[in-house]
């Protein structure tokens, strides 16, 4: 098996697959020691052709393939797409329209976050060879066995995709998957702007001083990780950002007293820049502090009990529908519903409201009850006795 290693070969492959209804795509990448994922292989399969593309080949230009990904007449099929989409978004090749077979599998009743090999086993009755799973994909040359293993990630995907899509369409659930795909294709999900880095974290306080330092330190870590191409955690751990925001050290001695900051950090190449970022934030905390929307906690013991009932209802409705409960609602969604019938949560909008949200509100109003029938929970209507007439 010979991968594509030249731009001319890639152009020829892309010309051949233009006009196809879909293309199954997967990548092999390395990012254990880097900030930016290192793209090592691209696998692609359509109804008429399949190929492995070597993005590490000297002089190869990936633009012809990125044009295919941007072509909205071709559906792009991935499994567990998020990290692959992140890579292509960084390359200015956001794949649209997108179909993630892991999300589709959840909607089709294959369970929570079903793995690719499990989906292939259940749908195609094929057992995948896992012998090359831990390959160093950056090494060259790759063996035929490694290339065959990599290509299988898309050949079987291309085979099962039409069946899975037809099944969802027949069951009226295809729109559910398309709804999720809009989120996966949102560039904001892959935003690496340093000033927005704090949004991926969980600030524990809401004072201007704390938030100003929190945002500034998170931005400093993001910039440093990007410039040095190192994982964020190699620069500074998440818990250190919280401690630095709480203590706001402004000199080396104070920095060295931080428990979550590595010993001797102030004397490293990072220390002076970090302290400068903190001092800058402290000059005007109100101006530097981001606006943080406070999440609504479970406000009372009664609300806590409602959340527990909603969890049982969610499980029951998910089992009735044969879909993964995680696709319908999260615990955070349930907490919001427990406190507010008009909460701004996806669980109260669209198909999720039909599948669960409306029943959640009815359960809160006492119009539904949960009954244990053997080992299964049933949801039943509550019949209210008529009020006596005077």
State the 10-residue block means of pLDDT for the chain, 390 residues long: 96 97 97 96 98 98 98 98 96 96 95 94 94 91 95 97 97 92 92 96 94 98 97 96 97 94 91 97 96 66 87 93 92 93 94 94 94 87 70
Q: Which residue, 271, 235, 234, is CA-closest to 256?
A: 271
Pair 259, 330 in one domain? no
From 247, 266, 288, the end of a domain falls on 288
Q: Which residue, 47, 28, 50, 48, is CA-closest to 38?
A: 28
pLDDT of amino acid 1: 80
Q: Which residue, 379, 264, 277, 267, is CA-closest to 318?
A: 379
Q: What is the dihedral of CA 107, 111, 113, 119, to 10 degrees?
A: -90
Q: 11-22 burial, b if ≥16 CB within 10 A, otherwise e? A: bebbeebeebeb
Query: Which residue's structure tokens are 């196809």?
Result: 20
Residue 106 lies in a domain: yes
- What is the rounded distance in angstroms from the CA atom of residue 52 to the CA atom of residue 49? 11
Pair 16, 106 in one domain? yes
Pair 164, 46 in one domain? yes
Pair 16, 72 in one domain? yes
Pair 150, 202 in one domain? no
pLDDT of amino acid 130: 85
Residue 124 lies in a domain: yes
Instruction: Domain count for the chain, please give it.
Output: 3
Residue 386 lies in a domain: no
pLDDT of amino acid 295: 57
Pair 183, 198 in one domain? no
Residue 236 lies in a domain: yes
Range of the structural domain that residue 200 is part of = 194-288
From 142, 175, 190, the end of a domain falls on 190
314: enclosing H helix or E strand = helix 301-321
């Amino acid at each position: 098996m010979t991968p594509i290693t030249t731009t001319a070969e890639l152009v020829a492959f892309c010309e051949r697959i233009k006009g196809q209804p879909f293309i199954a795509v997967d990548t092999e990448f390395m990012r254990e020691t880097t900030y930016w994922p290192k793209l090592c292989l691209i696998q692609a399969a359509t109804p008429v052709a399949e190929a492995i593309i070597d993005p590490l080949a000297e002089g190869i230009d990936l633009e012809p393939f990125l044009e295919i990904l941007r072509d909205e007449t071709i559906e792009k099929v991935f499994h567990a797409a998020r990290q692959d989409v992140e890579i292509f978004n960084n390359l200015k090749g956001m794949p649209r329209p997108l179909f993630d077979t892991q999300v589709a599998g959840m909607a089709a009743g294959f369970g929570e976050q079903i793995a690719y090999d499990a989906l292939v086993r259940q749908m195609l009755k094929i057992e995948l060879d896992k012998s090359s799973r831990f390959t160093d994909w950056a090494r060259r040359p790759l063996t035929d066995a490694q290339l065959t293993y990599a290509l299988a990630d898309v050949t079987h995907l291309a085979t099962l995709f039409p069946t899975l899509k037809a099944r969802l369409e027949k069951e009226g659930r295809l729109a559910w998957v398309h709804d999720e795909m809009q989120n996966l294709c949102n560039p904001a999900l892959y935003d690496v702007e340093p000033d927005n880095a704090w949004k991926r974290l969980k600030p524990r306080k809401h004072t201007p001083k704390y938030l100003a330092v929190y945002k500034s330190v998170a931005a400093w870590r993001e910039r440093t990780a990007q410039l040095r191409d190192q994982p964020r955690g190699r620069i500074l751990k998440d818990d250190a950002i919280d401690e630095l925001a709480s203590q706001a050290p402004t000199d080396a001695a104070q920095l060295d007293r931080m428990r979550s900051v590595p010993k001797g950090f102030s004397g490293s190449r990072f220390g002076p820049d970090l302290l400068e970022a903190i001092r800058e934030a402290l000059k005007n905390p109100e101006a530097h502090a981001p606006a943080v929307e406070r999440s609504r906690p479970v406000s009372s013991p009664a609300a806590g009990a409602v959340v527990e009932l909603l969890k049982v209802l969610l499980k029951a409705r998910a089992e009735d529908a044969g879909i993964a409960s995680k696709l319908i609602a999260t615990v955070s969604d349930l907490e919001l519903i427990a406190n507010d019938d008009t909460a701004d949560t996806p669980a109260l909008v669209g198909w999720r409201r039909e599948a669960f949200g409306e029943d959640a509100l009815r359960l809160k109003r006492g119009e539904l009850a949960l009954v244990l029938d053997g080992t299964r929970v049933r949801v039943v209507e509550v019949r209210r006795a008529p009020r006596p007439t005077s």
